[in-house]
Structure formats: structure tokens, C-alpha cells
């Protein structure tokens, strides 16, 4: 398959950089094609703003999603956004490689999502989740943390890492229709020494070698929701941090 690794870390020598290169080498060795887009090295414009819209549908009021639709309809999508969309379009597997900063994606990667996953390309009214525009693609998070695994336990001070990743897993990747693989999480790579980091990279090899059999994250299908987009009464919530109120 064709894989795209999107790397969001300012230091190529970082462990995030090492994980991106390892994914490239390991997937290639397994016979896959791999491209890496290094957002910091490419000086990707990380904030969506008025400068993204050289020709405006509504010059008097900036609504990003409407202008994204207008840009697409009128062939004025910024070249760097078009290029990222092309890379994702060509890929069967999208890997997001990033450090968890302040409990979430770096601003650079969040802004990449905001600028690239546009209305019209990333989603459309009625074409989200199961019916998403990117159905059939696989996606996977590979992230690092600053603190140890226990802080990200369900009763840890940071809270369950899977709950923290819900906005990426459900909110971005599944929203776009992708099947989301079990993430690879490198806990506190700066605290585990050379040996620990080597073992982590080897564990990543194993993870990447088992893409076929890795569990896909569970998400409720759209027909399990009512018209108010709450789970129907007979459905037991078991996706992300979903639960019954009260």
C-alpha cells in the first residue's frame, strides 16, 4: 500500500523524527511505498486565515468553511493545501506523527487539519463518518508524551490517553470516513534512555508489520444514532468516552 507520514515536530533529530523515519524504512522494507511530509521543515503555513483566500466568495465576512468551498469551486485553493490534499488522496494509509503538547496535537498539526481537511474535500454535508469522503483509507496516530504511561491511565492526572486522542480519532480521521487503527504511543521517550528508545522503535516495527491484524478502533455507525445524533436507547455506548448522561 501507499503510506503518508505527516510529521509535526520542529526538530528532525527528535524521537518524533526518528519514528517518522522508522515508519518510512520499515514500511518500505515491507514492500509499501512511503512519503513523509515534514510540516516544520517545509515551513507549512499552520494557521488558516484570510490570506488563504486570494479570491473571496464573501469579501465582507470571513467564514472559513464557506470560503474553502468557494475556493474549491473556483479553482483557487492555495497550492500548499492542494499539495497536501494530493498526498492524502494518493495514500491508502495516513500516519500522523506528533508529540502531545498541552494534552493534544501541536498547533502546527491542528492547523494542518484546519487548512487541508476543507469543506468539500475533507467532509461535506451528509458525507461524514461512515459516509465520509475518505472511506476506504486507513489512518493511525503515532504520538509521544512528555510523561510516563501511568499519568495517562484512566485514573491518571492527565486522563486516559485514548480519551485525549478522541478529537483526532473520531473528530478528524473517522469524521473523514477513514478506518482508524490502534495508535502507537511512545511514553516519555526522553526519560527511557538509548536502550529504551531502541526497544520502542523495535516495538513500532512490530506495530507496522501487523497493520492487517491491528484492531480498528470501534465507532458506532450512523444508524445507531437518532435524528438528534444521540445514540438510540437500545445502543450501549462504547465508543471513545461516550456514555449515558447522569
DSSP state of 96: E
Instruction: For residues 40 and 137, give the distance between their C-alpha atoms in angstroms, rounded to a whole number.
Output: 25
Question: Which residue, 26 or 84, has its beta carbon nearer to a copy of itself?
Answer: 84
The minimum distance between CB 147 and a copy of itself, in angstroms, equals: 7
DSSP state of 218: P
DSSP state of 239: S
Question: Which residue, 16 or 26, has its beta carbon nearer to a copy of itself?
Answer: 16
Contacts with a copy of itself by CB under 8 A lie at 10-11, 13-14, 40, 46-50, 61-64, 101-108, 110-111, 113-114, 117, 129, 147-148, 150-151, 153-160, 163-164, 166-167, 170-172, 175, 220, 225, 228-231, 237, 240-245
The minimum distance between CB 122 and a copy of itself, in angstroms, equals: 9
The minimum distance between CB 94 and a copy of itself, in angstroms, equals: 15
Residue with cell 437500545: 234
Question: Which helix (H) or strand (E) element contains residue 36?
Answer: strand 33-38
The minimum distance between CB 158 and a copy of itself, in angstroms, equals: 7
- Written as one string, the DSSP assignment of 183-205 is PEEE--GGGSHHHHHHHHHHHHH
Question: Which residue, 24 or 114, has its beta carbon nearer to a copy of itself?
Answer: 114
Query: Do the Cβ atoms of 229 and 237 come closer than 8 Å?
Result: no
Q: Which residues, other chains included, contact 170 with Cβ-Cβ below 8 Å and sequence gap of 6+?
A: 219, 239, 240
Question: Which residue, 28 or 150, has its beta carbon nearer to a copy of itself?
Answer: 150
Question: Which residue, 162 or 211, has its beta carbon nearer to a copy of itself?
Answer: 162
The minimum distance between CB 223 and a copy of itself, in angstroms, equals: 12
Query: Do the Cβ atoms of 93 and 3 come closer than 8 Å?
Result: yes
Amino acid at each position: 500500500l501507499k503510506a503518508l507520514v505527516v510529521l509535526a515536530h520542529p526538530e528532525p533529530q527528535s524521537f518524533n523524527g526518528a519514528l517518522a523515519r522508522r515508519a518510512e524504512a520499515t514500511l518500505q522494507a515491507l514492500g509499501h511505498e512511503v512519503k513523509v511530509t515534514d510540516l516544520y521543515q517545509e515551513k507549512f503555513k499552520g494557521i488558516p486565515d484570510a490570506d488563504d483566500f486570494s479570491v473571496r466568495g464573501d469579501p465582507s465576512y470571513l467564514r472559513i468553511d464557506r470560503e474553502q468551498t468557494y475556493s474549491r469551486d473556483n479553482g483557487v485553493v492555495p497550492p500548499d493545501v492542494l499539495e497536501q490534499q494530493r498526498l492524502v488522496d494518493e495514500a491508502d494509509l495516513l500516519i500522523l506523527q506528533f508529540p502531545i503538547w498541552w494534552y493534544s496535537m501541536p498547533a502546527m498539526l491542528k492547523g494542518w487539519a484546519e487548512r487541508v481537511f476543507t469543506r468539500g474535500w475533507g467532509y461535506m454535508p451528509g458525507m461524514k463518518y461512515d459516509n465520509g469522503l475518505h472511506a476506504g483509507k486507513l489512518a493511525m496516530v503515532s504520538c509521544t508524551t512528555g510523561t510516563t504511561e501511568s499519568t495517562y491511565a484512566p485514573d491518571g492526572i492527565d486522563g486516559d490517553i485514548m480519551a485525549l486522542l478522541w478529537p483526532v480519532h473520531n473528530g478528524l480521521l473517522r469524521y473523514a470516513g477513514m478506518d482508524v487503527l490502534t495508535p502507537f504511543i511512545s511514553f516519555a521517550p526522553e526519560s527511557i534512555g538509548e536502550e529504551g528508545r531502541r526497544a520502542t522503535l523495535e516495538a513500532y516495527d512490530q506495530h507496522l508489520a501487523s497493520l492487517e491484524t491491528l484492531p480498528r478502533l470501534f465507532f458506532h455507525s450512523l444508524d445507531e444514532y437518532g435524528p438528534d445524533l444521540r445514540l438510540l436507547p437500545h445502543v450501549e455506548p462504547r465508543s471513545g468516552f461516550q456514555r449515558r448522561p447522569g
